Amino acid sequence: MPGVPRDTRRRIGLLGGSFNPAHEGHRHVSLEALKRLGLDEVWWLVSPQNPLKSGNGMEPLATRLARAKQLAHHPHIRVEAPELLLGTRFTLDTVRELKRIYPQAHFVWLMGADILPQLVQWAGWRDLFAAIPIAAFARPGWSYAALQAAAPRAFARYRLDAGQARRLPTADAPAWCFIPSRLDSHSGTAIRAVRSKRSRTKGKAISDQTRVLPDRGKPTADQLELVRRSLEDDKAEDIVVIDLAGKSSFADYMVIATGRSNRQVVAIADHLEERLKQAGYRHVSSEGKQGGDWVLIDSGDIVVHVFRPEPRAFYALEKMWALESEAAPKPAKTRRRKSA
């Protein structure tokens, strides 16, 4: 996690999930955890893909990260995707790696009470209880009834009373606590359902009326060539193309490129978006232009990430996707000069 020293002794809540999309319920649990558990920080761990959920309807990771950061908007809430760097897929493995990297930190796993009945489906759920204290926050329809599920009953003797919640971060695992609090009814499933109803056809505006779904029906080869040419014309560096066909549901290709400054990153993204629309790819969306460190352009079958050098090195998407990648070919003029 950028800026976190290895020897930190902070009390840190971990809130994991796909955040598809991030919503006020995530923020509500985080603020309650900061207050009720006496935490120094809450880390939102945005998963590239929840192994218990289908990839259908999953927004690109960069989109989910950008929205989560915008929504969190709190000095003590940090939004990252550490599984990309750690190479982990399951919660237990991620927790173990974070504890290895930060051996003196006091971690607590945070969840809504609606997750308690699902825990028995998680890989190594018993080991998770033994690895980290767990705090479950009341959710509408999933409060005390959730305590009768198999997982909380199996660890009933390790439960702390809500009045002892501040002890949880420094308690030896297994230890867990159910925390009754003001109920927040926001749900990612409900939000996606509303979006689905309002976006049955390609290119139709989704619920918040701020974004239009990209068209995924045009030939991909021509689109990929246009993307490459636009990036090259704007002097983007280290262009890499990752073939996602058959490996991901959200796109056929991921393209990664570097701009030397925030201003160049935004200019590259602006020009690419404009050229795609002029070529008939009308429903193109982008995220991240406000900061300029990392801009995502979703043009349908191709998702483009334009980074500054430092964020690109940190996230290392081409490595962490564990997919075969190929460097984009240099312009034809350069190749002819070398072969002459």
- Say how far apart CA 28 and CA 13 lie, in whole Å: 13
Task: Give 138-167 pLDDT, tens digit per residue.
Answer: 866 555 668 888 999 999 999 999 889 999
Q: pLDDT category, 55, cuts 50, 70, 90?
A: low
pLDDT greater than 60 at residue 325: no
Looking at residue 125, its pLDDT comes to 95
- The mean pLDDT value for 83-97 works out to 89
Question: Which of 298, 288, 266 lies closest to 66 in space, CA to CA?
Answer: 288
**Averaged pLDDT, 17-35:** 90
Q: Read off the pLDDT of residues 104-136 as tens digits, 9 standing for 90 and up.
A: 999 999 998 888 888 999 999 999 999 999 999
- As a whole number, mean pLDDT of residues 327-340 equals 40
Backbone φ and ψ of 19, nearest 5°: 50, 55
Q: Which residue has the tokens 């246009």?
A: 226
Q: What is the mean pLDDT of the chain?
A: 79
What is this structure's pTM? 0.58
Task: Return the pLDDT at 63.
Answer: 82
pLDDT bracket for residue 328 (50, 70, 90)? very low
| pLDDT reported for residue 182 | 57
pLDDT score recorded for residue 146: 80
The secondary element (H helix, E strand) that includes residue 265 is helix 262-278
Minimal CA–CA distance to 14: which of 51, 39, 49, 38? 39
- Supply the pLDDT for residue 320: 56
> Residue 132: its pLDDT value, please?
98
- Among 80, 135, 78, 89, smallest CA distance to 111 is for 135
Confidence at 101, pLDDT banded by 50, 70, 90: very high
| Class in CATH terms, 11-179 | alpha beta
Q: Is the predicted pLDDT of residue 37 greater than 90, yes or no?
A: yes
Mean pLDDT value across residues 28-48: 94
Res 318: pLDDT: 73
Residue 204's pLDDT is what?
40
- Between CA 107 and CA 95 the distance in angstroms is 9
Is residue 270 classed exposed, middle or buried when 0-12, 13-18 and 19+ CB atoms within 10 A define those classes?
middle
**Tens-digit pLDDT profile for residues 205-259:** 333 333 344 444 455 788 899 999 999 999 999 999 988 766 555 567 889 999 9
Q: What is the pLDDT of residue 194?
A: 37
The domain spans of the chain are: 11-179, 220-333
Q: Higher confidence at residue 97 or residue 202? A: 97
**What's the CA angle centered on 111, arms 110 and 112, to 5 degrees?**
145
**DSSP conformation letters of 180-248:** --------HHHHHHHHHHH--STT-B-TTSS-BPPP--S-HHHHHHHHHHHHHHTT-EEEEEEE-TTT-
pLDDT band at 203 (very low <50, low <70, confident <90, very high): very low
Residue that wins the pLDDT comparison between 66 and 272: 272
Could you please state the CATH topology (level 3) that the domain comprising 220-333 is classified under: Beta Polymerase; domain 2 (3.30.460)
Instruction: Say what the pLDDT of residue 216 is.
Output: 44
